[in-house]
Amino acid sequence: MLYGFLMLLVCQLLGELIVVAGDIPVPGPVMGMVLLLLALVLLKKPPQSVRGVSEGLLAHLGFLYVPAGVGLMLHLEMISEYWLAILAALFVSTLITLVVTLLMFKLFGRLKRKRGEN
């Protein structure tokens, strides 16, 4: 278990270092995620300790972003001024994103069928 946690932290640290050294506009932990993914592909199978710690953390993912979410209290003024525009932007964007993604798969499905006919 401890070994798994160490592995996550080391990946995160390396990720942060790469991001800073390369001046890459990507969050350090995301770069750490790429490193861990590469390591898992090379290892062919995630070590049990890494899987245990990861699944434990991910099972409580919602809880982990409560402290950040409480920070909304710093933006109450802006939210009360712009809430309608923000909701409209979220709604329109979520709707279009879903439709576009579904249509992409329809397109691929049609391509596949055509190839099958030939």
Partner 1 sequence: MEFWVFFTAKPLFWLIITIVVFVCSVALNKRAGGSPLLHPVLVALSLIIVFLLLTKTSYETYFEGAQFIHFLLGPATVALAVPLYDHFERVRQMWLPLLVSCLVGAITAIVTVLAVGMFFDLPVGALLSLAPKSVTSPIAIGIAEKIGGFPSLAAGLVLITGAMGCLLAPMLFTFLKVDDDAVKGFSMGLAAHGFGTASAFEISALAGAFSGLAMGMTGLLTAFILPVVVSMFGLI
**96 lies in the binding site for partner 1 (CB under 8 A):** yes
77, 34 contact by CB (below 8 A) = no
Q: Compute the distance between CA of residue 34 and CA of residue 27 in angstroms, rounded to an integer.
A: 11
Size of the site for partner 1 (CB under 8 A): 70
Give how far Cα 9 sits from Cα of 3, 4, 35, 50, 59, Å: 10, 9, 11, 11, 18
The letter for the amino acid at 22 is G
Residue closer to partner 1 by CB (options 44, 117) is 44
Closest CA to 36 of 12, 5, 18: 12
**18 lies in the binding site for partner 1 (CB under 8 A):** no
Q: Compute the distance between CA of residue 105 and CA of residue 90 in angstroms, rounded to an integer.
A: 23
Residue closer to partner 1 by CB (options 21, 100) is 100
Residue closer to partner 1 by CB (options 85, 118) is 85
Q: 56 to 85, contacts with partner 1 by CB under 8 A? A: 57-58, 61-75, 78-79, 82, 85
Name the site residues for partner 1 (rule: CB under 8 A). 5, 8-9, 11-12, 15, 25-30, 32-37, 40-41, 46, 50-51, 53-55, 57-58, 61-75, 78-79, 82, 85-106, 108-109
